[in-house]
Amino acid sequence: MAAIKALVKPELLRWARGRAKVKPEDAAKAAHVPVERLQAWERENSEEAPTLGQLRDLAAKYHFPLAVFYLPEPPKDFAPLRDFRRLANVEEEPISANLAYHIRSAYDRRELALELFQEINSEPRRFPLAATIKDNPEKVGRAIREFLKVDSDSQMRAAGQGKAFDYWRRRLEENDILVFVVSGPHWSVDLKEMRGFAIAMPNLPVIVVNGKDYSQGGKAFTLIHELCHVLLGESAISNGAGEDPALRPADRRIERFCDAVAAATLMPLELIASFTEVARAELHEWSDEELRRIGGAIGVSRQALLLRFVTIKLATWSYYRERHDAFEEEYRQQAEDRAKKKKPVPIKRHIMLMSWNGRGFTRLVLRSYYDQRITLNDVSSYLGTKVKHIPALEHAAFQAAE
């Protein structure tokens, strides 16, 4: 009996593969056909078409629901992110398939969140802050701290508990900013490709942070750096290469500004001046021990603290660049060591899902369920979990901050 062909338009097949950033060879492999057959399916006015089983294989590879392929025409794509990265192969493959999936997922969850707000007869608070690169980073940093209601004591208390990123993330989520974390072994993205990206919107902006940075302080810096892009009103993607001399001058100025704002937010002058070593310091080359002790107390990385010292004239740019390379090499070596061990630390399902979806999005989905606007199966689908994991996820979502 001949296999039934799927009634799918070639333009939908081309659009889905293009948006998923999957190469023809990889797509053909997923569908178990020669690449020439896949190209025939995608050719305009072609009479060739995949079987339903092959279409399911492609949907899984592209990470799209099957229903997308039966739309009358390709949906409008999301707005592109301004690229502040520096990659060796940027001309050949500016965005990997995994990163394309996370960008798509972030846009999709934001759209879903907006729909859920409407379902419960509410709306997200409008994001009130804005900035330009001509602004004083110190003033912008103070404005962010005031908006988020951050004080030095609670910040340092969270840092002492090893929860610096969690602290800042919660502050953002409590002000209707969606924060997602790329985590887990599936669809992972290398830090060299992306540390974070932002979807800058006047209501319900989104920030995505790469969980492969195992440092709470490092993720906190990325979080506020991307928040600065939201203030600038420009959706953007970064990988920490702002100091690369090969980056375009205009992009480098913006990245430096966002770094300076993140440093001023996380390390206000009055906070770092409270440390005796800083109050009495003059321009010099700071040791790893000094950077680790002060940075650990504040909840920032050594690299971020050294950047702050450059800003307040306690370290030079040349010394920062020298140490920057050493820090990057250290991070790379640590990542390699983890990979060699091949003993992943088991993470409970609800904790991983909370990291992935964020507290703000998870609470919104659950509140929609409480208001009987969606079903329990909807909750399971929206949060990407089985029904049996929902109680633990619910407890984590509404747990008070320590």
DSSP per-residue string spanning 261-316: HHHHHHS-HHHHTTSHHHHT--S----HHHHHHHHHHHT--HHHHHHHHHHTTSS-
| Residues 35 and 160 placed together within one structural domain of the fold | no
d(CA 215, CA 330): 13
Examine residue 1 and state whether it is found in any structural domain, yes or no.
no
| Residues 327 and 377 placed together within one structural domain of the fold | no
The pLDDT of residue 344 is: 56
Average model confidence (pLDDT) across the chain: 88
Coil/strand/helix, residue 55: helix
The pLDDT of residue 192 is: 85
* Residue ending a domain, choose from 30, 46, 77: 77
The pLDDT of residue 161 is: 95
Q: What angle do CA 243, 145, 292 make, to 5 degrees?
A: 55
| Residues 189 and 115 placed together within one structural domain of the fold | yes
| Residues 168 and 51 placed together within one structural domain of the fold | no
Hey, what amino acid is at 31?
Answer: A
Terminal CA-to-CA distance of the chain, rounded, Å? 63
d(CA 394, CA 329): 40
Instruction: Name 198's bridge partners.
Output: 207, 236
Helix %, strand %, coil % for the chain, to 5?
55, 5, 40
The pLDDT of residue 342 is: 57
The domain total for the chain is: 3
CB 185 within 8 A of CB 95: no
* Residue ending a domain, choose from 27, 45, 77: 77
Examine residue 303 and state whether it is found in any structural domain, yes or no.
yes
Examine residue 331 and state whether it is found in any structural domain, yes or no.
yes
CB 298 within 8 A of CB 273: no
| Residues 150 and 277 placed together within one structural domain of the fold | yes
d(CA 44, CA 75): 18
The DSSP bridge pattern shows strands 196-199 and 206-210 to be antiparallel
Examine residue 141 and state whether it is found in any structural domain, yes or no.
yes
State which residues form the domain around 16: 10-77
Residues 6+ apart with CB under 8 A from 89: none
User: Could you tell me the sign of the dihedral formed by the alpha carbons of 168, 253, 101, 124, in that order?
Assistant: positive
CA 43 vs CA 15, 23, 37, 39, 191: distances in Å: 12, 15, 10, 6, 36
Hey, what amino acid is at 250?
Answer: A
| Residues 53 and 109 placed together within one structural domain of the fold | no
| Residues 134 and 266 placed together within one structural domain of the fold | yes
Examine residue 2 and state whether it is found in any structural domain, yes or no.
no
| Residues 300 and 353 placed together within one structural domain of the fold | no
The pLDDT of residue 345 is: 55
| Residues 114 and 240 placed together within one structural domain of the fold | yes
Beta strands in 141-286 (DSSP E): 178-182, 196-199, 206-210, 236-238
* Residue ending a domain, choose from 302, 318, 341: 341
Examine residue 89 and state whether it is found in any structural domain, yes or no.
no
- The predicted model scores a pTM of 0.85
Examine residue 198 and state whether it is found in any structural domain, yes or no.
yes
| Residues 264 and 384 placed together within one structural domain of the fold | no
We report the CATH number of the domain holding residue 25 as: 1.10.260.40
| Residues 314 and 374 placed together within one structural domain of the fold | no
Examine residue 86 and state whether it is found in any structural domain, yes or no.
no
Among residues 82, 381, 400, the alpha carbon closest in space to that of 251 is found at 82
| Residues 70 and 135 placed together within one structural domain of the fold | no
The pLDDT of residue 339 is: 64
The pLDDT of residue 328 is: 76
The pLDDT of residue 1 is: 47
Residues 6+ apart with CB under 8 A from 261: 131, 137, 140, 141, 144, 224, 225, 228, 231
The low-confidence residues of the chain, meaning pLDDT below 50, are: 1, 89-90, 92
